[in-house]
Structure formats: C-alpha cells, structure tokens
C-alpha cells in the first residue's frame, strides 16, 4: 500500500496511541507502552536541575523507536491552544557555566535561562546543552516539545480565533467547547509522521426549542473578537446571520485577519438539534481490512471480519454489496450510540459499553489487528467506486470529532471502516 496523502490531524488514531501499560522499576524509572513504542523515563539530564514549560515541570524520556534520543516533554496543565502557541521555557541549570544553543534563544545568566513566547503547538525544538571541564567541552542534544492533557481544554479569552458567543435559532442552550486528543510521543516525528501530536477540536452545541422551517437557513447571532477576526467560509456559512445546518458535518470557519490576509483559521463543528427525529445513512465498510495481508494470511482474522460483515449487512442493510443503509433516530443520537446498538444486537456490548468514547475493537477486530497504526475510524463522506470498492485512500475524509461527540443530523452519511495505516488517509 502506497501512501498518497499524509494525514493532517487524526483524533481517533491519536487515541489509539494512548498508553496501554506502565511499569515501574527499582531505580525510579518507568516504562510506558504507547502502541508499539515504549517510553522510558530518564531521571535527570546533565547540568540541569529542572525545566518548566508554561509553568509546568517537564519530564525526560527515551522512545524505543528513536534510540538514545532524549526528549524534554511537558503536558501543560490548564493550558489552551492559544497559550501553547506563546509560552515560556525555563531551564534551571545545576551548572551555571553551562551554555545552551540550538533552535531557541535563551536569555539570562547564572543558573536560570529563559526562552520567551515559544510556539509549542506541534513544534519540536533542538536544545544543545554544553559543559566544559578541564578544557574539554561536552555537548548533549535534546528534543523539546509539549502538549496539553487529553480531554476538555480551555479557550483563552485573548484567543483571536475564539467565538465570544453564539445563539443558533431559538436555542437557549449554546455551548462552545474545545477537546484535545493528545499523542504522548511529543516531538517524535518517526511516530508522528505528519508532525502533529496535539489536536484540539472545537464544537458548538445548540439545542433549538422548535424545529426550523428549513435547516438550510437557520438564523444565528454570532459575536467574534473585534478587529482581528472574521467569518471566511465553512460548509454551514451562508452569511453572518444565517447558517446552513443541512449538511452532515456543518463547519463554521473563523479566521484571524490582517487586512484581507488570513493569518490563521479554525474550524468549529456546529451541532444544532431540534425536537424532530433525524434521518441518516449508516454502515460499516470492510474494503481495507479484506485487502490486508493479515486478512489473507490469518484465518482467525478473516473469520472474525467475515462475521462482522455479515452481521452488519443484516443490521444496516446492503448497498452495492456493502453494509450500509438508511436509518432514523431520536434527535441527540450520536455516531457512537448507533454503533452501540449494533454491538448490543450482536453480542459485542462489552466492547462498546454505555458511555463509550472510543471503540478499540469489535468482535476482537480493530486496534493493532492490522499493525500498530490500525484501528476503527469513521467517515462522513463515504464513496464507492464503480467496482464496489471503497476509494478510502483518497476520498474517505475523517472528521476531527470523536464518535461519541458527533451528534447525527438529517442527511448525515456515516460509515465506519477498519484503518490499516492511518497515515494513508486524508483528513477533513
């Protein structure tokens, strides 16, 4: 399988990479398995007493797939995407005579050296610390990177890309949220082939009290930061006062502007419910799984996949040979809710339990079945070729919203698939 496009962001694949096991040893070190990469703590680094990033104490690790390279890492507590783009790095030296070189400019003398306004959002920096003794200089090279804890994160009040307030239709409950999916292998560009390990996803949740005359033209009252921010595009934008919520994945794009130049932008997925039920298409595709070496060479995997395929066709219906069909559900139903219904109907309830936010396996198939970059993903834009195969490498875009957070709307098209290598897939 040849890579055709690098993924730009990947919520579910990042969750696949989260830690599976941690072991502690007598010397105080720990090892943590992340996918097939083992992270080993390093208790100290030469000439340094501590490092803080954004006020959070950093830690030191080696990754099993990058040899002896030491990473200086921090999960910046209480941070936001905006703050991570401009934060301070402080290195407290145990040897005041040490020098610091590399990608960052450190100021100060003595034991405390500071780099200010450092952009650490999916950025890795080389830090070289040198000491001299007896006329001999010893230099050590480190990689410095940071991220945010997984889960809900704040939206900074100074963030030029924030939505100050929003009211959709007659909704009285309008919530703007940010959720981070964090790969702990920060700075490791071997594992993070796309150069990204922090993924903050933004969502607007609005509960309309009455059904609009047309979901394709819903009124909105929107407030943005004055002077620097504007609406530029997005699938749901008609104009500053009207949204089209008829698509399966309505997106509102907000941009930071300098005159007519876009400096930065952000997508907000808009999930607006109303009292009516929703009608949508839903299914599971096994094209990629059935094309894999594992499926061809492992009879147990093939049997498990075939069983799932047969059960999915019975549950969802069949379209062009695939398990896919029309369904209706109550407003507020999520993509994961429907998958749980399928799981319960076929005896897989323990793999998709109530409140599940991430589906690792189904009938034992999924995370790492087809390699360390494999697992379950879903698309809102399923397309099949004339021969019935899925063009998943080019057209099956995956939304940056977890299945448990994706509220189904009228006309949605949802199809799950087994991804054998997430770096081969496009990202929406």
Q: What is the CATH number of the domain that holds 180?
A: 2.60.40
260 is a domain residue: yes
- Domain of 99 in residue numbering reads as 19-147
Q: Is residue 204 part of a domain?
A: yes
- Final residue in a domain of this structure, among 94, 126, 147: 147
- Answer yes or no: do 40 and 96 share one domain: yes
In the structure, what pLDDT confidence band is assigned to residue 12 with cuts at 50, 70 and 90?
Answer: very low
Number of domains in the chain: 3
Answer with the one of 273, 302, 323 that is the final residue of a domain: 273
Whether residue 167 sits in one domain with residue 78: no
Q: In terms of domains, do 169 and 69 share one?
A: no
Instruction: Please write the tens of the pLDDT for every residue from 373-425.
Output: 889 999 998 988 766 777 777 778 888 788 999 999 888 999 999 988 876 66
Q: Which residues touch 87 (CB under 8 Å, ≥6 apart)? A: 53, 54, 76, 79, 117, 118, 120, 146
Q: Is residue 13 part of a domain?
A: no
Strands (E), 8-161: 19-24, 30-34, 37-42, 48-53, 56-57, 59-63, 70-75, 87-93, 99-102, 112-118, 125-133, 136-147, 151-153
Check whether residue 331 and residue 201 sit in a common domain. no
CA angle 155, 157, 160 (to 5 degrees): 85
- Pair 297, 321 in one domain: yes
Tally helices (H) and strands (E) across the chain.
6, 29
- Residue 4 covered by a domain: no
Same domain, 343 and 366: yes
Mean pLDDT of the chain: 87
Whether 162 and 57 share a structural domain:
no
Residue 1 lies in a domain: no
- Cα 63 to chain centroid, rounded: 21
| pLDDT digit string, tens, across residues 31-80 | 887 656 899 999 999 999 999 999 999 999 999 999 999 999 999 988 89
Model pLDDT for residues 182-237, shown as the tens digit of each residue: 888 999 999 887 788 888 889 898 889 998 998 889 999 999 998 888 887 787 89
Residue 12 covered by a domain: no
Q: Which among 110, 132, 147 is the end of a domain? A: 147
- pLDDT above 60 (res 16): no
pLDDT for the residue numbered 22: 63
Q: Residue 325 above 70 pLDDT?
A: yes
């Amino acid at each position: 399988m040849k890579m055709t496009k690098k993924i730009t962001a990947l919520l579910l694949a990042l969750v696949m990479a989260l830690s599976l096991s941690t072991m502690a040893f007598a010397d105080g070190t720990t090892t943590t398995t992340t996918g097939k990469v083992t992270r080993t703590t390093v208790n100290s680094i030469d000439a340094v007493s501590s490092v803080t990033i954004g006020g959070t104490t950093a830690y030191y690790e080696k990754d099993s797939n990058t040899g002896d390279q030491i990473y200086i890492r921090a999960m910046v507590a209480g941070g936001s995407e905006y703050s991570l783009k401009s934060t301070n790095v402080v290195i407290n030296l145990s040897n005041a005579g040490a020098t610091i070189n590399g990608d960052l400019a450190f100021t100060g003398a003595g034991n405390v050296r500071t780099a200010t306004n450092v952009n650490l959002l999916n950025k890795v920096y080389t830090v070289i610390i040198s000491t001299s003794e007896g006329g001999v200089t010893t230099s050590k090279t480190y990689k410095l990177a940071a991220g945010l804890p997984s889960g809900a994160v704040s939206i900074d009040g100074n963030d030029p890309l924030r939505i100050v307030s929003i009211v959709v239709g007659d909704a009285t409950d309008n919530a703007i949220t940010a959720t981070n999916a964090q790969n702990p292998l920060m700075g490791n560009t071997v594992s993070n082939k796309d150069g990204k390990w922090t993924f903050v996803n933004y969502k607007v949740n609005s509960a309309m009290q009455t059904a609009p005359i047309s979901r394709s033209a819903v009124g909105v009252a929107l407030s943005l930061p004055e002077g620097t921010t504007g609406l530029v595009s997005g699938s749901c934008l008609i104009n500053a006062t009207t949204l089209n919520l008829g698509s399966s994945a309505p997106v509102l794009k907000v941009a930071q502007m300098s005159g007519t130049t876009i400096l930065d932008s952000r997508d907000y997925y808009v999930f607006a419910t109303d009292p009516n039920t929703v009608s949508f298409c839903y299914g599971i595709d096994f094209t990629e799984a059935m094309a894999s070496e594992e499926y061809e060479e492992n009879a147990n995997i093939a049997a498990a996949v075939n069983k799932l395929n047969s059960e999915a066709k019975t549950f969802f219906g069949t379209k062009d040979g695939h398990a896919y069909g029309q369904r209706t559900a109550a407003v507020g139903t999520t993509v994961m809710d429907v998958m749980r219904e399928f799981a319960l109907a076929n005896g897989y309830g323990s793999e998709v339990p109530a409140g599940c936010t991430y589906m690792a396996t189904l009938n034992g198939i999924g995370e790492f079945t087809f390699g360390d970059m494999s697992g379950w993903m879903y698309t809102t834009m399923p397309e099949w070729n004339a021969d019935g195969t899925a063009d998943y490498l080019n057209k099956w875009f995956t939304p940056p919203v977890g299945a448990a957070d994706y509220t189904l709307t009228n006309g949605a098209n949802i199809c799950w698939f087994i991804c054998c290598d997430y770096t081969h897939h496009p990202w929406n």
